[in-house]
Amino acid sequence: MAEKYIALPTGVSERDFDAAISEFRAALGDENVYTEADRLAAYGKIMLPVPDAEHAPSAAISPTSVEQVQRCVAICNTYRVPVWPISTGKNLGYGSAAPGNRGQVVMDLRRMNRILEVDADLCTALVEPGVTYQQLYDYIAQRKLPLWLSCPAPSAIAGPLGNTVDRGVGYTPYGEHFLFSCGMEVVMPTGEVLRTGMGSLPNSNTWQVFKWGFGPYLDGIFTQSNFGIVTKLGLWLMPAPPAFKSFVIRYDDEADIVAAVETLRPLRMANIIPNAVVISHALWECGTVAKRADYFTGPGSISDAAVARMARDRNVGIWNLYAGLYGSPEQIEVNWKIIQGAVKASGRGEILTAEQLDRDPVFKYRSDLMQGKMNVKEFGLYNWRGGGGSCWFAPVSQARGVEAKKQLAMAKTILDRHGIDYVAEFIVGWRDMHHIIDVLFDRTDAAQTKAANECFTELLREFAAEGYGVYRANTAFQEEVANLYGDVKRDVNQKIKRALDPNGIIAPGKSGIWV
Ligand code: ADP
């Protein structure tokens, strides 16, 4: 192994890498190309249950403009050097800022952080990769624009572009983020700049308002993929509603997940409840603030009795369904009556409103998220077990009570086998649910790390055997996940990759796609 670099890209000689690095320096300036171990530490930090070495970068480069990105891409083509683009690089539990494979050069786009446009009439924005949710929130607040964002939970430091291209979700009516994106600019592996949708039409002013453009709709192929480097993203913002009412339905029995989902689905599908609802398990609610050792010191995963005790202490349900109503007070009133009627008819659960939970920090946190107000509280989950290990397992489920129940039972059985706690929530789309499970473990403990790795593998395989797949995968398991989706899907992805990126320079291996 070369001493000069902490890693080298696969198949690239040290001589060629030296040449590439000096060309990156000429293009970006010495100070924007890092190869020293200490400067690279932040780009090699992972939370996944695999050795750091598997995701060690060879270098990091930090362009500030589209032209610089193009120049980097040209250098990569000359020397066959692979780059792994990141936007804000806060993809914690999915790979963080580290490359998907050892030796790849991280292309850090954080310094491209201009908010290019916010249109308060059409409620659209156009942003660069480095723009954070907090930055966009502050921009809107400072100008007193009547616009709301949708952001993922720990989002202040993450950004809309990275989150959307990885198909992340939030908690408002615009919570399915890719669905509410409109128009991309992409530096292709050849260095050409593509604008999707209406963006390719000279003088068009409809890039951020009409998604489809003409001919094949391309935006999708730039999400969870490695077909280009996205340098601009259009997104729709929500007009601030005149009124907002948030509430929680608490369920005290784990089996009530069936009633919760069955009560919710018709309301969600009819848009009576318009937002991406969360049904959060007690351990998720308490895990951000409670200490595991205060409730459970035994071997294996935490007992149901300990979780119930914690839920009582913290005044949360075993399941907590958070939803919001948006619109005029009159509209809200009508929908509120329908919801109350539906919950009463189900015979399960207790509805509590913002007025009743005035000072409850857990409720406020959820209520804020449903209004696109961000914080980083979810990171508190990392203290539950401590030791910096996190790996999201996020299978998709039909929005059906029996399906939720089945996934819950499967997940708990598998986690239990490995002594890992069930820390989870369901995020409800229109017909689907993302069952989000944080596989938390102490990464400083070799036995726990091994258990987490085996656990994750079993979760993937056993869920797949029942026809369940994940909506997003961390970089340690992307290959395995890609295999689950079958040969034809892999083959088609590869054909596109070969056509667009014959030298395989952009994020090889992302979502299991190679040249
Ligand atoms: P966030 O900080 O919002 O969680 P990241 O910036 O880490 O997200 O991006 C998540 C993932 O999306 C990255 O690991 C990378 O695979 C992909 N990605 C991020 N930015 C880009 C981009 N500009 N072009 C292409 N892919 C990207």
SS (H, E, C) 113-152: CCEEEEECCCCEEEECCCCCHHHHHHHHHHCCCCEECCCC
437 CA distance to ligand 1 middle (Å): 21
* Residue 233 pLDDT greater than 80, yes or no: yes
409 CA distance to ligand 1 middle (Å): 32
The pLDDT value given to residue 425 = 96
**Can you tell me the mean pLDDT for 482-496?**
97
**Can you tell me the mean pLDDT for 323-341?**
98
Q: How far apart are the first and last CA of the chain?
A: 25
Q: What is the mean pLDDT of the chain?
A: 96
Global pTM value? 0.97
| Cβ of 86 below 6 Å from ligand 1 | yes
Query: pLDDT tens digit string along 301-327?
Result: 999 999 999 999 999 999 999 999 999
| Cβ of 87 below 6 Å from ligand 1 | yes
**Can you tell me the mean pLDDT for 485-510?**
98
Q: Is residue 265 annotated as part of the catalytic site, yes or no?
A: no
Residue 412: DSSP 8-state: H
Q: For the chain, what percent of residues have pLDDT higher than 70? A: 100
Q: Which residues of 67-106 are buried (b: 16+ CB within 10 A; e: fewer)?
A: ebbbbbbebbbebbbbbbbbbbbbbbbbbbbbbbbbbbbb
| Cβ of 85 below 6 Å from ligand 1 | yes
The pLDDT value given to residue 112 = 98
* Residue 155 pLDDT greater than 90, yes or no: no
CA distances from 34 to 13, 80, 104, 129 (A): 18, 18, 13, 20
**Can you tell me the mean pLDDT for 186-206?**
98
What strands lie across the sheet with 229-236, from one edge to the other?
115-119, 124-127, 229-236, 181-187, 193-195
Query: pLDDT tens digit string along 126-145?
Result: 999 999 999 999 999 999 99
* Residue 2 pLDDT greater than 50, yes or no: no
Question: Position of tokens 């902490």?
Answer: 6
Query: pLDDT tens digit string along 76-92?
Result: 999 999 999 999 999 89
Q: Is residue 326 annotated as part of the catalytic site, yes or no?
A: no
Token code pair at residue 151:
């952001």
Query: pLDDT tens digit string along 255-277?
Result: 999 999 999 999 999 999 999 99
Query: pLDDT tens digit string along 94-115?
Result: 999 999 999 999 999 999 999 9
Poorest-pLDDT segment among 101-115, 357-371, 478-492? 357-371
The pLDDT value given to residue 290 = 87
- Candidates 34, 79, 94, 322; catalytic one: 94
**Can you tell me the mean pLDDT for 347-353?**
97
Q: Where would I find the beta strands (DSSP E) of 171-283?
A: 181-187, 193-195, 229-236, 238-239, 243-251, 277-281
The pLDDT value given to residue 448 = 96
**Can you tell me the mean pLDDT for 232-250?**
98
Q: Which residues of 292-329 are buried (b: 16+ CB within 10 A; e: fewer)?
A: beebbeeeebbeeebbebbbeeeebbbbbbbbbbbbee
| Long-range contacts, stretch 111-114, CB < 8 angstroms, 24+ apart | 111/32, 111/62, 111/63, 111/64, 112/63, 112/64, 112/65, 112/231
How are beta strands 83-86 and 105-108 bridged, if at all?
A: parallel
Q: At what angle do helices 329-346 and 257-269 cross, to 10 degrees?
A: 150
**Can you tell me the mean pLDDT for 52-70?**
98
Query: pLDDT tens digit string along 401-411?
Result: 999 999 999 99
The pLDDT value given to residue 288 = 83
